[in-house]
Structure 1
């Protein structure tokens, strides 16, 4: 199949591109490179021995987006492109609503105008808000607690409405939990701009000496050790979930929602302990106040993905930490090392 991957040079997008290429698909990437690096394409070629066509465009530019569909035969789209930092979304909500919503509307309009109806959307567990119980099932109520999560939820609702009025559309909404780790080659991994917003790159940058200590945001949550509990999933497992979703939408099943997680929650301090064992590095940390929009506990019930997609996470927390550290150790300054 010919797959358009929006945001394909980003963290999850690049790992998914590798899995797509290894599975024999052809990949075209649309990415404005606002949170990624051109060198990702070279690394993807090194790993897969395949070229990827890049359109360095912003999805807010509908004319340029349409050009991709006019110049290529597209069978399906995997949509990663969008802003993703919870904290920044609280500080700059209009930036998030404008970018994430309008870019997706543009994409769906251009897809429809070019008779392309197969879409996998990169959603998030943040759409569940602060759930009453865990593990979280797809049927749970949705109520996002920050602008980032609300953009994901609004897009989901929009795609549900689109699918409801046309049998042409085949849409898979993949609700990710917390992607971590890196490719086993250590050639691609998570390379955030500035101080990381996510736990694992913060830990790895402390381990490599770029940052002095880890900031643990809150130790007074209602959890076993007071720190936030999340379902961490290896990014390669997550990428493979997209291939399974791609197989599913080929069967014209309308719209489906799937949790992609491990079904196991780890606290911040448990992740620190696991990382220290996997890397042999000591991670000093400081307790800081809670961040706006964060919740205490969030982990998946991934049984629907196993039953309907034949997918389940294979890598444990040790592998996640080990691969994340190998990436950071060999690329201390990310792609600019």
Structure 2
């Protein structure tokens, strides 16, 4: 029983691969290494004792994807393959639409041709835009996202819903909030290429002296301390949710169309400054920062109501913020040792 994990050497993908292997699944990874590095594959093997099959190519190359499906009996797919930086997506919209949507369509063409089901889509809370009411549950109305990245996620969901309805397939749309942290082993974690676009990697690199100061994008939001509020979820907890969602899809024997949608978060919002202070406390380090103007595409506040995932998947996020941030620093120290 093989599960295709696209973007499987990336941040969330690599942690999900570990959890899949720990749950007895055979894993086939496709990753173009545009936002990951090959040594992660070896580290996955060190953590699990098993080395996944790995194909290094861009999913837009349909002929190579067909070869993977020819070579393996694929029983399902978890699709992480996407460009993900909100700020960059505003500067390179065409690149984001092409990469994030064409790769998904190519996977679905193979699923359609081979009558495969069980596809999990790495979606995002950005599909809600700036929600009017907190916390955000699955019945919260979708809005046009503020960023091109968010738009690609919303379009991807629509494509998958149409696919499932037209061909009677099973899909799960996982709308998660802000993943942070690293594996307890310290051997896999978020590995941004160039200047980080997400908060916690930038905090981590600033604490390590790689960046001079952390840029906080705006302190005039209508929040308690003026900085934007997000729901920060530990990446290993998030990875376990993917496995739970996959098991639910695969256990369904009704033969009917199944479209699951889950919000994955902690149910609690934390501001940017709260995260910075929690990181400093967890790791006994200082993070110098500067306040900058708001960044285009960012929203004010977003945090999840994860009750549906707990009820239907038996899953909930249990790792505290400070513990998540402690693992982040262990990952940075590992990277420092590799580069020394």
- Bigger mean CA offset, 109-118 vs 82-91: 109-118
Counterparts of 1:283 and 1:336, CA distance in 2? 21
1:73 matched to 2:77: no
Counterparts of 2:208 and 2:117, CA distance in 1? 44
Deviations 1:289-316 (A, max 9, x none): 0000001100000000000010000101
Counterparts of 2:181 and 2:339, CA distance in 1? 19
CA contact (8 A) 2:268 2:303 kept: yes
Deviation at 1:251, TM superposition (A): 2.9
| Shift in CA distance, 54/336, structure 1 to aligned 2, threshold 3 Å | farther
CA contact (8 A) 1:237 1:314 kept: yes
The 3-state SS of whatever aligns with 1:120 is strand
Counterparts of 2:51 and 2:98, CA distance in 1? 32
Give 5+ residue unaligned stretches, structure 2: none
TM-score under structure 1 length normalisation:
0.98
Give 5+ residue unaligned stretches, structure 1: none
Deviation at 1:336, TM superposition (A): 5.2
**Partner in structure 2 of residue 279 of structure 1:** 283
Counterparts of 1:58 and 1:65, CA distance in 2? 9
The 3-state SS of whatever aligns with 1:281 is coil
Counterparts of 2:50 and 2:150, CA distance in 1? 35
1:293 matched to 2:294: no
Counterparts of 1:336 and 1:248, CA distance in 2? 41
Runs (4+) of structure 1 moved beyond 2 Å? none
Q: How do 1:247-258 and structure 2 match up within 5 A?
A: 247-252=247-252, 254-258=258-262
Deviations 1:163-207 (A, max 9, x none): 12232x110000010000000000111110111000000001011
1:267 matched to 2:268: no
Deviations 1:134-168 (A, max 9, x none): 1001111112111100000001011111112232x
Q: How do 1:100-249 and structure 2 match up within 5 A?
A: 100-143=100-143, 144-167=145-168, 169-249=169-249
CA contact (8 A) 2:186 2:334 kept: yes
Counterparts of 2:319 and 2:37, CA distance in 1? 27
Counterparts of 1:336 and 1:50, CA distance in 2? 25
Q: Say how many residue pairs are matched.
A: 335
Counterparts of 2:121 and 2:113, CA distance in 1? 19
Deviation at 1:116, TM superposition (A): 1.2
**Partner in structure 1 of residue 307 of structure 2:** 303
Query: Once superposed, what is the RMSD of the aligned Cα atoms?
Result: 1.1
The 3-state SS of whatever aligns with 2:78 is strand
TM-score under structure 2 length normalisation:
0.97
**Partner in structure 1 of residue 40 of structure 2:** 40
The 3-state SS of whatever aligns with 1:331 is helix
CA contact (8 A) 1:62 1:110 kept: no
